[in-house]
Structure 1
Protein backbone atom coordinates (compact mmCIF):
# COMPACT_ATOMS: atom_id res chain seq x y z
CA UNK A 1 0.00 0.00 0.00
CA UNK A 2 1.23 3.50 -0.77
CA UNK A 3 0.81 6.23 1.81
CA UNK A 4 0.70 9.98 2.13
CA UNK A 5 0.65 9.71 5.87
CA UNK A 6 1.69 12.56 8.13
CA UNK A 7 2.77 12.23 11.73
CA UNK A 8 1.20 15.50 12.86
CA UNK A 9 -2.16 15.10 14.61
CA UNK A 10 -5.06 16.75 12.82
CA UNK A 11 -7.53 18.87 14.73
CA UNK A 12 -11.15 17.73 14.33
CA UNK A 13 -11.99 21.33 13.40
CA UNK A 14 -10.07 20.76 10.17
CA UNK A 15 -12.59 18.23 8.87
CA UNK A 16 -15.01 18.91 6.04
CA UNK A 17 -18.07 16.76 5.43
CA UNK A 18 -19.23 15.41 2.08
CA UNK A 19 -22.70 13.96 1.44
CA UNK A 20 -22.61 11.71 -1.62
CA UNK A 21 -25.82 12.31 -3.59
CA UNK A 22 -24.56 12.21 -7.15
CA UNK A 23 -25.61 8.73 -8.27
CA UNK A 24 -28.15 7.60 -10.84
CA UNK A 25 -30.53 6.13 -8.25
CA UNK A 26 -30.79 3.04 -10.45
CA UNK A 27 -32.19 0.78 -7.75
CA UNK A 28 -34.81 3.44 -6.97
CA UNK A 29 -36.00 3.56 -10.56
CA UNK A 30 -33.78 6.46 -11.54
CA UNK A 31 -35.11 8.99 -9.05
CA UNK A 32 -32.74 11.33 -7.21
CA UNK A 33 -32.24 9.31 -4.04
CA UNK A 34 -31.17 12.13 -1.73
CA UNK A 35 -34.36 14.07 -2.41
CA UNK A 36 -36.75 11.20 -1.63
CA UNK A 37 -38.88 11.93 1.46
CA UNK A 38 -38.49 10.17 4.78
CA UNK A 39 -40.82 11.28 7.56
CA UNK A 40 -41.63 14.38 5.51
CA UNK A 41 -38.04 15.48 4.80
CA UNK A 42 -35.54 14.58 2.06
CA UNK A 43 -33.12 11.79 2.93
CA UNK A 44 -30.14 14.06 2.36
CA UNK A 45 -31.52 16.59 4.82
CA UNK A 46 -31.65 13.97 7.57
CA UNK A 47 -28.03 13.14 6.82
CA UNK A 48 -27.00 16.80 6.80
CA UNK A 49 -28.54 17.35 10.22
CA UNK A 50 -26.46 14.54 11.67
CA UNK A 51 -23.16 15.23 9.96
CA UNK A 52 -23.04 19.04 10.04
CA UNK A 53 -22.34 19.31 13.80
CA UNK A 54 -19.41 16.91 13.40
CA UNK A 55 -17.48 18.86 10.75
CA UNK A 56 -16.19 22.30 9.94
CA UNK A 57 -17.74 22.90 6.55
CA UNK A 58 -20.16 20.79 4.51
CA UNK A 59 -20.34 19.83 0.82
CA UNK A 60 -22.98 17.94 -1.15
CA UNK A 61 -21.95 15.91 -4.20
CA UNK A 62 -24.83 16.12 -6.69
CA UNK A 63 -25.20 15.85 -10.46
CA UNK A 64 -28.92 16.58 -10.77
CA UNK A 65 -31.35 19.01 -9.17
CA UNK A 66 -28.52 21.29 -8.10
CA UNK A 67 -30.86 24.10 -7.03
CA UNK A 68 -32.77 21.72 -4.76
CA UNK A 69 -29.57 20.56 -3.10
CA UNK A 70 -28.35 24.14 -2.74
CA UNK A 71 -31.56 25.03 -0.93
CA UNK A 72 -31.35 21.89 1.20
CA UNK A 73 -27.79 22.65 2.22
CA UNK A 74 -28.20 26.40 2.73
CA UNK A 75 -29.03 26.22 6.48
CA UNK A 76 -25.72 24.43 7.01
CA UNK A 77 -23.65 26.66 4.72
CA UNK A 78 -23.19 23.67 2.43
CA UNK A 79 -21.72 24.01 -1.05
CA UNK A 80 -22.83 21.76 -3.91
CA UNK A 81 -20.09 20.14 -6.02
CA UNK A 82 -20.48 18.02 -9.15
CA UNK A 83 -18.48 15.37 -10.99
CA UNK A 84 -16.14 16.59 -13.71
CA UNK A 85 -17.80 14.24 -16.21
CA UNK A 86 -21.51 13.89 -16.81
CA UNK A 87 -21.65 10.12 -17.17
CA UNK A 88 -22.17 9.25 -13.48
CA UNK A 89 -18.81 7.47 -13.02
CA UNK A 90 -19.51 6.49 -9.41
CA UNK A 91 -18.77 7.56 -5.84
CA UNK A 92 -15.02 8.04 -6.36
CA UNK A 93 -15.77 10.91 -8.75
CA UNK A 94 -17.95 12.54 -6.11
CA UNK A 95 -15.26 12.05 -3.50
CA UNK A 96 -12.70 13.66 -5.82
CA UNK A 97 -14.96 16.69 -6.32
CA UNK A 98 -15.20 17.07 -2.56
CA UNK A 99 -11.47 16.63 -1.96
CA UNK A 100 -10.70 19.30 -4.54
CA UNK A 101 -13.28 21.74 -3.18
CA UNK A 102 -12.12 21.84 0.44
CA UNK A 103 -9.06 23.34 2.06
CA UNK A 104 -9.46 21.11 5.12
CA UNK A 105 -6.95 18.40 5.95
CA UNK A 106 -9.57 15.66 6.23
CA UNK A 107 -12.89 14.92 4.60
CA UNK A 108 -15.64 12.77 6.10
CA UNK A 109 -17.68 11.12 3.34
CA UNK A 110 -21.14 9.65 3.91
CA UNK A 111 -23.94 8.51 1.57
CA UNK A 112 -27.13 10.54 1.25
CA UNK A 113 -29.38 7.64 2.21
CA UNK A 114 -28.20 6.78 5.74
CA UNK A 115 -30.35 8.95 8.01
CA UNK A 116 -29.27 7.34 11.29
CA UNK A 117 -25.51 7.67 10.99
CA UNK A 118 -23.69 8.01 14.36
CA UNK A 119 -23.37 11.46 15.86
CA UNK A 120 -19.80 10.57 16.88
CA UNK A 121 -18.77 9.11 13.51
CA UNK A 122 -16.17 11.79 12.82
CA UNK A 123 -14.50 11.61 16.22
CA UNK A 124 -14.23 7.82 16.15
CA UNK A 125 -12.75 7.78 12.65
CA UNK A 126 -10.30 10.58 13.48
CA UNK A 127 -8.99 8.70 16.49
CA UNK A 128 -8.48 5.55 14.44
CA UNK A 129 -6.90 7.40 11.52
CA UNK A 130 -4.42 9.24 13.68
CA UNK A 131 -3.72 6.24 15.89
CA UNK A 132 -2.82 4.12 12.87
CA UNK A 133 -1.17 7.01 11.00
CA UNK A 134 -3.36 6.04 8.09
CA UNK A 135 -4.64 7.87 5.03
CA UNK A 136 -8.16 6.45 5.07
CA UNK A 137 -10.45 5.21 7.84
CA UNK A 138 -13.49 3.14 6.86
CA UNK A 139 -16.43 1.56 8.67
CA UNK A 140 -17.09 -2.09 9.49
CA UNK A 141 -20.11 -3.33 11.42
CA UNK A 142 -20.57 -6.66 13.18
CA UNK A 143 -23.96 -8.25 13.60
CA UNK A 144 -25.15 -10.29 16.59
CA UNK A 145 -23.81 -13.50 15.03
CA UNK A 146 -20.40 -11.99 14.38
CA UNK A 147 -20.99 -11.37 10.68
CA UNK A 148 -18.95 -8.42 9.40
CA UNK A 149 -20.20 -5.91 6.84
CA UNK A 150 -18.08 -3.32 5.09
CA UNK A 151 -19.41 0.19 4.45
CA UNK A 152 -16.77 1.76 2.18
CA UNK A 153 -18.58 5.01 1.35
CA UNK A 154 -18.55 5.92 5.04
CA UNK A 155 -14.94 7.07 5.16
CA UNK A 156 -12.54 9.65 6.51
CA UNK A 157 -9.84 10.59 4.01
CA UNK A 158 -6.81 12.82 3.94
CA UNK A 159 -7.40 15.44 1.26
CA UNK A 160 -3.79 15.03 0.11
CA UNK A 161 -5.07 11.96 -1.72
CA UNK A 162 -6.85 14.08 -4.34
CA UNK A 163 -4.11 13.95 -6.98
CA UNK A 164 -3.74 10.18 -6.72
CA UNK A 165 -7.50 9.73 -6.96
CA UNK A 166 -7.62 11.94 -10.05
CA UNK A 167 -4.94 9.80 -11.69
CA UNK A 168 -6.86 6.65 -10.77
CA UNK A 169 -10.07 7.89 -12.36
CA UNK A 170 -8.18 9.09 -15.44
CA UNK A 171 -7.04 5.48 -15.94
CA UNK A 172 -10.66 4.35 -15.91
CA UNK A 173 -10.53 2.73 -12.47
CA UNK A 174 -13.70 3.33 -10.45
CA UNK A 175 -13.82 0.69 -7.70
CA UNK A 176 -13.84 2.28 -4.26
CA UNK A 177 -12.31 -0.59 -2.31
CA UNK A 178 -9.61 -1.20 -4.92
CA UNK A 179 -8.48 2.41 -4.61
CA UNK A 180 -8.55 2.28 -0.82
CA UNK A 181 -6.36 -0.82 -0.92
CA UNK A 182 -3.58 1.18 -2.55
CA UNK A 183 -3.24 3.35 0.55
CA UNK A 184 -2.66 2.95 4.24
CA UNK A 185 -6.13 2.38 5.61
CA UNK A 186 -7.72 1.34 8.88
CA UNK A 187 -11.11 -0.27 9.48
CA UNK A 188 -13.14 0.95 12.44
CA UNK A 189 -15.68 -1.44 13.92
CA UNK A 190 -19.10 -0.20 15.01
CA UNK A 191 -21.50 -2.45 16.87
CA UNK A 192 -24.67 -0.65 15.73
CA UNK A 193 -25.53 -1.94 12.26
CA UNK A 194 -28.73 0.10 12.17
CA UNK A 195 -26.78 3.36 12.24
CA UNK A 196 -25.35 2.54 8.81
CA UNK A 197 -28.51 1.18 7.20
CA UNK A 198 -29.11 2.80 3.85
CA UNK A 199 -32.21 2.67 1.70
CA UNK A 200 -31.31 1.42 -1.77
CA UNK A 201 -34.85 1.07 -3.10
CA UNK A 202 -38.20 2.77 -2.64
CA UNK A 203 -39.41 -0.36 -0.84
CA UNK A 204 -36.49 -0.21 1.61
CA UNK A 205 -37.19 3.48 2.14
CA UNK A 206 -40.83 2.72 2.96
CA UNK A 207 -39.76 -0.07 5.32
CA UNK A 208 -37.35 2.30 7.05
CA UNK A 209 -40.13 4.81 7.60
CA UNK A 210 -42.47 2.17 9.01
CA UNK A 211 -39.90 0.45 11.20
CA UNK A 212 -39.30 3.17 13.77
CA UNK A 213 -39.02 6.92 14.09
CA UNK A 214 -35.67 8.45 13.27
CA UNK A 215 -33.21 8.82 16.08
CA UNK A 216 -33.06 12.11 17.87
CA UNK A 217 -31.00 14.59 15.88
CA UNK A 218 -27.98 16.17 17.59
Structure 2
Protein backbone atom coordinates (compact mmCIF):
# COMPACT_ATOMS: atom_id res chain seq x y z
CA UNK A 1 0.00 0.00 0.00
CA UNK A 2 1.28 3.46 -0.90
CA UNK A 3 1.94 5.42 2.30
CA UNK A 4 2.50 8.89 0.83
CA UNK A 5 1.66 10.90 -2.26
CA UNK A 6 4.59 12.31 -4.22
CA UNK A 7 4.52 16.09 -4.38
CA UNK A 8 4.68 15.76 -8.15
CA UNK A 9 1.22 14.13 -8.09
CA UNK A 10 -0.40 17.24 -6.60
CA UNK A 11 -1.40 20.57 -8.16
CA UNK A 12 -2.03 23.37 -5.68
CA UNK A 13 -4.91 25.72 -6.48
CA UNK A 14 -5.50 29.12 -4.87
CA UNK A 15 -9.20 30.00 -5.01
CA UNK A 16 -9.37 33.73 -5.78
CA UNK A 17 -12.36 33.91 -8.09
CA UNK A 18 -15.02 35.30 -5.78
CA UNK A 19 -16.78 38.65 -5.76
CA UNK A 20 -15.21 39.80 -2.48
CA UNK A 21 -18.59 41.00 -1.26
CA UNK A 22 -17.57 41.06 2.40
CA UNK A 23 -14.64 43.27 1.40
CA UNK A 24 -16.88 45.74 -0.37
CA UNK A 25 -16.27 44.15 -3.76
CA UNK A 26 -12.49 44.36 -3.52
CA UNK A 27 -10.49 41.59 -5.18
CA UNK A 28 -9.65 39.81 -1.94
CA UNK A 29 -6.60 37.92 -3.12
CA UNK A 30 -4.84 41.15 -4.10
CA UNK A 31 -5.32 42.95 -0.76
CA UNK A 32 -2.05 43.46 1.08
CA UNK A 33 -0.97 41.81 4.32
CA UNK A 34 2.48 42.81 5.54
CA UNK A 35 3.25 44.23 2.11
CA UNK A 36 2.27 41.16 0.09
CA UNK A 37 -1.05 40.25 -1.54
CA UNK A 38 -3.03 37.64 0.36
CA UNK A 39 -2.84 35.27 -2.59
CA UNK A 40 0.96 35.50 -2.57
CA UNK A 41 1.04 34.34 1.05
CA UNK A 42 -1.11 31.32 0.10
CA UNK A 43 1.00 30.53 -2.97
CA UNK A 44 4.17 30.60 -0.88
CA UNK A 45 2.67 28.11 1.58
CA UNK A 46 1.33 25.80 -1.10
CA UNK A 47 4.47 25.83 -3.25
CA UNK A 48 6.51 23.33 -1.19
CA UNK A 49 3.50 21.01 -0.98
CA UNK A 50 2.66 20.70 -4.68
CA UNK A 51 4.41 19.90 -7.93
CA UNK A 52 2.51 22.60 -9.83
CA UNK A 53 0.47 25.67 -8.88
CA UNK A 54 -2.55 27.47 -10.31
CA UNK A 55 -4.76 30.40 -9.38
CA UNK A 56 -8.52 30.54 -9.90
CA UNK A 57 -9.29 34.19 -10.72
CA UNK A 58 -12.04 35.98 -12.62
CA UNK A 59 -10.76 39.55 -12.29
CA UNK A 60 -7.35 41.18 -12.70
CA UNK A 61 -6.02 38.02 -14.28
CA UNK A 62 -2.92 39.80 -15.56
CA UNK A 63 -2.07 40.87 -12.02
CA UNK A 64 -2.52 37.31 -10.76
CA UNK A 65 -0.36 36.04 -13.63
CA UNK A 66 2.45 38.33 -12.54
CA UNK A 67 1.90 37.29 -8.93
CA UNK A 68 2.18 33.62 -9.81
CA UNK A 69 5.11 34.05 -12.18
CA UNK A 70 7.83 32.94 -9.71
CA UNK A 71 6.05 29.60 -9.38
CA UNK A 72 4.90 29.34 -13.03
CA UNK A 73 1.33 29.30 -11.71
CA UNK A 74 -1.38 29.17 -14.35
CA UNK A 75 -4.33 31.54 -13.97
CA UNK A 76 -7.68 29.85 -14.56
CA UNK A 77 -11.04 31.57 -15.08
CA UNK A 78 -14.41 30.00 -14.26
CA UNK A 79 -16.06 28.34 -17.22
CA UNK A 80 -19.48 29.26 -15.76
CA UNK A 81 -20.82 32.85 -15.67
CA UNK A 82 -21.80 35.09 -12.76
CA UNK A 83 -19.34 33.95 -10.06
CA UNK A 84 -21.15 30.70 -9.15
CA UNK A 85 -18.93 29.96 -6.15
CA UNK A 86 -15.87 27.93 -5.16
CA UNK A 87 -16.99 24.77 -6.97
CA UNK A 88 -16.60 26.61 -10.28
CA UNK A 89 -13.01 27.43 -9.41
CA UNK A 90 -12.48 23.85 -8.31
CA UNK A 91 -13.85 22.62 -11.64
CA UNK A 92 -11.44 24.82 -13.58
CA UNK A 93 -8.60 23.42 -11.50
CA UNK A 94 -9.67 19.80 -11.93
CA UNK A 95 -9.97 20.25 -15.69
CA UNK A 96 -6.62 22.00 -16.08
CA UNK A 97 -4.49 19.94 -13.70
CA UNK A 98 -2.06 17.44 -15.20
CA UNK A 99 -1.71 15.63 -11.88
CA UNK A 100 -3.99 13.01 -10.29
CA UNK A 101 -4.72 15.21 -7.28
CA UNK A 102 -5.69 18.85 -6.71
CA UNK A 103 -5.03 20.62 -3.41
CA UNK A 104 -7.22 23.70 -2.86
CA UNK A 105 -7.04 26.65 -0.47
CA UNK A 106 -8.84 30.01 -0.43
CA UNK A 107 -6.87 33.16 -1.17
CA UNK A 108 -7.71 34.71 2.21
CA UNK A 109 -6.01 32.03 4.34
CA UNK A 110 -2.40 33.20 4.71
CA UNK A 111 -1.54 30.86 7.60
CA UNK A 112 -2.47 27.48 6.12
CA UNK A 113 -0.31 24.69 7.55
CA UNK A 114 2.88 23.38 5.98
CA UNK A 115 1.66 19.81 6.38
CA UNK A 116 -1.77 20.33 4.79
CA UNK A 117 -1.02 18.22 1.70
CA UNK A 118 0.79 15.50 3.64
CA UNK A 119 -2.00 14.98 6.15
CA UNK A 120 -4.82 15.09 3.62
CA UNK A 121 -2.89 12.73 1.35
CA UNK A 122 -2.29 10.27 4.19
CA UNK A 123 -6.03 10.24 4.87
CA UNK A 124 -7.15 9.60 1.28
CA UNK A 125 -4.59 6.84 0.87
CA UNK A 126 -5.43 5.17 4.17
CA UNK A 127 -9.15 5.14 3.40
CA UNK A 128 -9.03 4.91 -0.40
CA UNK A 129 -11.06 8.12 -0.50
CA UNK A 130 -11.75 10.53 -3.34
CA UNK A 131 -11.67 13.73 -1.30
CA UNK A 132 -10.09 14.82 1.97
CA UNK A 133 -11.06 18.04 3.69
CA UNK A 134 -10.31 19.81 6.96
CA UNK A 135 -12.12 19.95 10.28
CA UNK A 136 -10.86 21.81 13.35
CA UNK A 137 -11.89 21.04 16.90
CA UNK A 138 -11.74 23.14 20.05
CA UNK A 139 -10.03 21.94 23.19
CA UNK A 140 -13.12 20.25 24.63
CA UNK A 141 -14.93 19.04 21.54
CA UNK A 142 -14.85 15.96 19.40
CA UNK A 143 -14.33 16.10 15.64
CA UNK A 144 -17.71 15.69 14.00
CA UNK A 145 -17.57 18.12 11.10
CA UNK A 146 -20.59 19.91 12.56
CA UNK A 147 -19.92 23.63 12.82
CA UNK A 148 -22.89 23.98 15.16
CA UNK A 149 -21.14 21.83 17.76
CA UNK A 150 -17.53 21.87 18.92
CA UNK A 151 -15.92 21.51 15.54
CA UNK A 152 -15.83 23.44 12.27
CA UNK A 153 -15.61 22.06 8.76
CA UNK A 154 -13.41 24.00 6.31
CA UNK A 155 -14.56 22.48 3.00
CA UNK A 156 -12.58 24.67 0.60
CA UNK A 157 -9.35 23.30 2.03
CA UNK A 158 -9.36 19.98 0.22
CA UNK A 159 -7.44 17.33 -1.68
CA UNK A 160 -9.53 16.06 -4.59
CA UNK A 161 -9.01 13.42 -7.28
CA UNK A 162 -8.85 15.20 -10.64
CA UNK A 163 -10.74 12.26 -12.20
CA UNK A 164 -13.88 13.74 -10.58
CA UNK A 165 -13.93 16.67 -13.05
CA UNK A 166 -16.72 15.30 -15.24
CA UNK A 167 -18.92 14.52 -12.23
CA UNK A 168 -18.47 18.04 -10.88
CA UNK A 169 -19.25 19.54 -14.29
CA UNK A 170 -22.51 17.58 -14.36
CA UNK A 171 -23.33 18.63 -10.78
CA UNK A 172 -22.82 22.32 -11.61
CA UNK A 173 -24.64 21.90 -14.92
CA UNK A 174 -27.69 20.77 -12.96
CA UNK A 175 -27.66 24.08 -11.09
CA UNK A 176 -26.13 22.74 -7.87
CA UNK A 177 -23.67 24.97 -6.02
CA UNK A 178 -23.11 23.59 -2.51
CA UNK A 179 -19.64 22.24 -1.77
CA UNK A 180 -20.75 19.80 0.91
CA UNK A 181 -23.51 18.41 -1.28
CA UNK A 182 -20.99 17.56 -3.98
CA UNK A 183 -18.59 16.01 -1.48
CA UNK A 184 -21.44 13.81 -0.25
CA UNK A 185 -21.58 12.17 -3.70
CA UNK A 186 -18.08 10.77 -3.17
CA UNK A 187 -16.02 9.03 -0.53
CA UNK A 188 -14.86 11.96 1.58
CA UNK A 189 -12.72 11.89 4.69
CA UNK A 190 -12.47 14.74 7.21
CA UNK A 191 -9.03 15.31 8.72
CA UNK A 192 -8.81 16.92 12.14
CA UNK A 193 -6.32 19.78 12.61
CA UNK A 194 -5.78 21.22 16.07
CA UNK A 195 -4.83 24.78 15.06
CA UNK A 196 -7.98 26.57 13.94
CA UNK A 197 -6.04 29.81 13.34
CA UNK A 198 -4.19 28.11 10.47
CA UNK A 199 -7.47 28.04 8.55
CA UNK A 200 -8.71 31.50 9.45
CA UNK A 201 -10.23 33.46 6.58
CA UNK A 202 -9.74 37.22 6.48
CA UNK A 203 -13.18 38.38 5.43
CA UNK A 204 -13.19 42.15 5.78
CA UNK A 205 -10.93 45.13 5.19
CA UNK A 206 -11.09 45.89 8.92
CA UNK A 207 -9.88 42.41 9.81
CA UNK A 208 -7.12 42.75 7.26
CA UNK A 209 -6.04 46.10 8.74
CA UNK A 210 -6.06 44.61 12.25
CA UNK A 211 -3.86 41.67 11.19
CA UNK A 212 -1.59 43.97 9.21
CA UNK A 213 -0.85 45.97 12.36
CA UNK A 214 -0.18 42.83 14.41
- TM-score, with structure 2 as normaliser: 0.93
Q: Which one is further off, 52-61 or 199-208? A: 199-208
SS in 2 for 1:156: strand
Contact 1:24 1:30 survives alignment (8 Å): yes
Tell me which residue corresponds to 2:62: 67
Shift of 1:8: 6.8
Q: How many residues align?
A: 205
- Among residues 103, 108, 130, which one is paired with 1:108 in the alignment? 103
- TM-score, with structure 1 as normaliser: 0.91
Cα RMSD (Å) of the superposition?
A: 1.3
- Among residues 9, 12, 17, which one is paired with 1:17 in the alignment? 12
Contact 1:12 1:126 survives alignment (8 Å): no
- Alpha-carbon distance between aligned partners in 1 of 2:78 and 2:182, rounded to the nearest angstrom: 18
- Alpha-carbon distance between aligned partners in 2 of 1:8 and 1:116, rounded to the nearest angstrom: 29
Residues 172-197 of structure 1, C-alpha deviations (whole Å, 9 max, x = no match)? 00000110011100000000011111
- Indicate yes or no: 2:196 matched with 1:201: no
Residues 86-118 of structure 1, C-alpha deviations (whole Å, 9 max, x = no match)? 310000000000000011000000000000000
- Alpha-carbon distance between aligned partners in 2 of 1:37 and 1:143, rounded to the nearest angstrom: 29
Contact 2:137 2:151 survives alignment (8 Å): yes
- Among residues 158, 171, 177, which one is paired with 2:180 in the alignment? 177
- Alpha-carbon distance between aligned partners in 2 of 1:92 and 1:13, rounded to the nearest angstrom: 23
Tell me which residue corresponds to 2:147: none
- Indicate yes or no: 2:44 matched with 1:49: yes
- Alpha-carbon distance between aligned partners in 1 of 2:26 and 2:97, rounded to the nearest angstrom: 28
SS in 2 for 1:161: helix
5+ residue gaps, structure 1: 1-6, 212-218
SS in 2 for 1:45: helix
Contact 1:16 1:58 survives alignment (8 Å): yes
- Indicate yes or no: 2:97 matched with 1:97: no
Equivalent runs, 1:110-125 vs 2, <5 Å? 110-125=105-120
- Alpha-carbon distance between aligned partners in 1 of 2:188 and 2:16, rounded to the nearest angstrom: 24
Residues 156-207 of structure 1, C-alpha deviations (whole Å, 9 max, x = no match)? 0000000000000000000001100111000000000111111011112122
- Alpha-carbon distance between aligned partners in 1 of 2:129 and 2:36, rounded to the nearest angstrom: 36
Equivalent runs, 1:139-178 vs 2, <5 Å? 139-146=134-141, 147-178=150-181
Contact 1:18 1:109 survives alignment (8 Å): yes
5+ residue gaps, structure 2: 142-149
